[in-house]
Amino acid sequence: MIALGYSSFVAIALPAIGYDALCTYALLGIPVVVFGSFTGLEPNEAGRFFASYMPVISTGIAFGMLYLVGRFKMMLRGAVPTILAGLTAGFVAIGMNRIGATTLTGVGAGAAVVAVMAAYVAVRGGKFYDRGAPSEADVAARGRMSLAAAVSPWLMLVVAAAIINTPNLPVFDLLFKKLAMPVEIIPGAPVAVRLFWQAYFWVTVTTFLALPFLKPTRLEFAQATRKWARRAWRPAVAAAVYFAIAYVINHSGKVAGAEGWTLPVPGRNMVFVLAHAAAATFRDLYGLVSPFLGLLGGFITGSETSSIAMLTQLHLDTAAVAGKIRTVGLIWAAASGIGGGLASVISPAKLQNAAAIIDAIGEEGTVLRKTVVVSLAITALCALMTLLWTI
């Protein structure tokens, strides 16, 4: 975005909030899969609870992006394409879930939005590609690398994602189920690693496959490797720590036995205690609270996935204590996940990473002060929807 001429503020804020639109369905739907691992649901079953929020939340986030760029004037000016893009992404999310391709929602929604926006530009008589006034930097960049080479990692990644997640193809069954690679951290509760299905595995693979097309110099490759080594370990360690916290919370008070870990005294489990307190305090209004708990979890952990891991069991147990059916608990938990995704735009870890990439360390504080309003507003919208669906 810096190369496109945007300010450092916009270059930090827009990618963070733009990622929120389908954060739950980001490449291969990792948050949905993690949600399913804590609820016992298959990805398509879990995705159904998130998909219903998407038309409204995606459109709200699109308006939030315009607000950050030019406040209410820009929101009014861009209302039509914003509504088109938001509703397209949202309803495609619902459609992908209906056809059993939840883990490909990010790919499908992205392609649909591009097609709809292309049609919108064509109807308005706009240009898709204008060679009229390239700057010297544009000419130099075009001379260094063709457009096809520049997008080659993304094209390869999209193709790989489509192949390994297309329904009825054997690759998904092989990588997601047969090569699940379960690890038993808690006795009797194995966790599927699914290394060869994970999105970041394929990001790495396609990056190396694209090197012959990108043709980096030895110096560029060395600089990229040093930056990766300096930055990559922080989010990895953070995710590991917060997943570990989630396991401590969920399994606190349990003792080892012949049949695995059991909970002889429920009052010693942190989730049990918090669920009873939440049910007693908020009762039928808990739907207003769960998205904000997810927002807080995402703010702390820097990840929707980590927020889901930490809070899902709490929402399910709170519903049970309040005498609600399991579906209500799942809706509360999904709303919390939505809130965790909305935290991307206020997460210090994400904003610092964005600022570091463009050498604008310190700018993230300014971004956070302005984006917190947007994240709270959209989370409140999610909370209202959740209350209406569960009261």
Comparing 6-15, 50-59, 126-135, 158-167, the range with the smallest average pLDDT is 126-135
Q: Which residue has the higher pLDDT, 362 or 42?
A: 42
The answer to pTM > 0.85 is no
Comparing 59-73, 125-139, 167-181, 224-238, the range with the smallest average pLDDT is 125-139
Question: Count of CB atoms within 10 A of residue 345's CB?
Answer: 31
State the pLDDT at residue 55: 92
State the pLDDT at residue 331: 95
Q: Is 279 left (phi over 0), alpha (psi -120 to 50) or beta?
A: alpha
Give the end-to-end CA distance of the chain in Å, rounded to a whole number. 43
In this predicted structure, the answer to whether residue 189 has a pLDDT above a threshold of 90 is: no
Q: Which pLDDT band, with edges at 50, 70 and 90, does 23 fall under? A: low
State the pLDDT at residue 22: 65
State the pLDDT at residue 12: 81
Give the residue among 28, 350, 19 at the shortest CA–CA distance from 200.
Answer: 28
In this predicted structure, the answer to whether residue 249 has a pLDDT above a threshold of 90 is: no
State the pLDDT at residue 76: 93
Question: How large is the average pLDDT for residues 101-113?
Answer: 86
In this predicted structure, the answer to whether residue 236 has a pLDDT above a threshold of 70 is: yes
State the pLDDT at residue 378: 92
- Rg over CA atoms, the chain: 22
Burial class (CB in 10 A: 0-12, 13-18, 19+), 384: middle
In this predicted structure, the answer to whether residue 330 has a pLDDT above a threshold of 80 is: yes
- Give the percent of the chain with pLDDT over 90: 23
State the pLDDT at residue 385: 95
Comparing 115-129, 245-259, 307-321, the range with the smallest average pLDDT is 245-259
- Give the percent of the chain with pLDDT over 70: 94
- Please answer whether residues 29 and 41 qualify as being in contact, where contact means their C-beta atoms are separated by less than 8 angstroms: no
Q: At a CB cut-off of 8 Å and minimum separation 6, what does 233 contact?
A: none
Q: Which residues pair with 191 in a beta bridge?
A: 183
State the pLDDT at residue 288: 93
Question: How large is the average pLDDT for residues 365-390?
Answer: 90
Question: How large is the average pLDDT for residues 57-67?
Answer: 89
State the pLDDT at residue 26: 65
Joined together, the tokens standing for residue 258 give: 């012949």
Residue 384, phi then psi, degrees to nearest 5: -65, -45
Give the residue among 204, 315, 321, 303 at the shortest CA–CA distance from 250.
Answer: 315
Most confident of the following: 146-150, 209-213, 299-303: 209-213
The rounded mean pLDDT for the chain is: 84
- Please answer whether residues 54 and 22 qualify as being in contact, where contact means their C-beta atoms are separated by less than 8 angstroms: yes
User: DSSP string covering 264-308, please?
Assistant: S-GGG-HHHHHHHHHHHHHGGGHHHHHHHHHHHHHHHHS-HHHHH
